[in-house]
Amino acid sequence: MPIRFRCHHCNQLMGIARRKAGTMVQCPTCHAQVQVPQPEPDDKAPPAQQIPDAPAPLFERSDFEALLQNPVAEDPIAPALPASSLPFATKAPSSFGTPSSQLRLRPSGLVLSPIQATWLTVGVIGLIALAFGAGLLVGYWMGG
């Protein structure tokens, strides 16, 4: 805990490390040389004792090794679902060269390829720019 004292010249509160007790330091406010006083003994407050019935908070315990040694679940991998229970599984037509008994997975909803997503993004940005330009022209002609 640092030594707290005030500068004798400008009354600035300073906090200095205990190892600097007895040395001369410069006040950061008035730049006067001030001697750091010797620390006062802390006989006022006895050390806090922990209540034996209450468990210590998690990060104040010293049994981290025991916590880390607990075994993890023996079978963390979930069993695979049968192919018939997948909601988006469809049968591929036999004209594609695959047997009709095999399932082809196709996600539900709208799925875009990367090229389609890029063109869609460019189109949306273009429409925003067009709307902004139209707003500028309307503001220029109506307000000018």
Contacts of 104 (CB under 8 A, 6+ apart): 89, 90, 91, 92, 98
DSSP string, the chain: --EEEE-TTT--EEEE-GGGTT-EEE-TTT--EEEPPPPPP--SSPPP---SSSPPPGGG-S-HHHHHTSPPPS--SPPPPPGGG-TTEEEPPGGGSS-TTSEEE--SS----HHHHHHHHHHHHHHHHHHHHHHHHHHHHHH-
Range of the domain at 22: 3-35
29 within some domain: yes
22-67: per-residue pLDDT in tens? 999 999 999 999 999 988 776 555 556 656 666 666 666 666 677 6
Q: How many separate domains does the chain show?
A: 1
pLDDT over 70, % of the chain:
54
Q: Averaged over 96-117, what is the pLDDT?
A: 71
26 within some domain: yes
94 within some domain: no
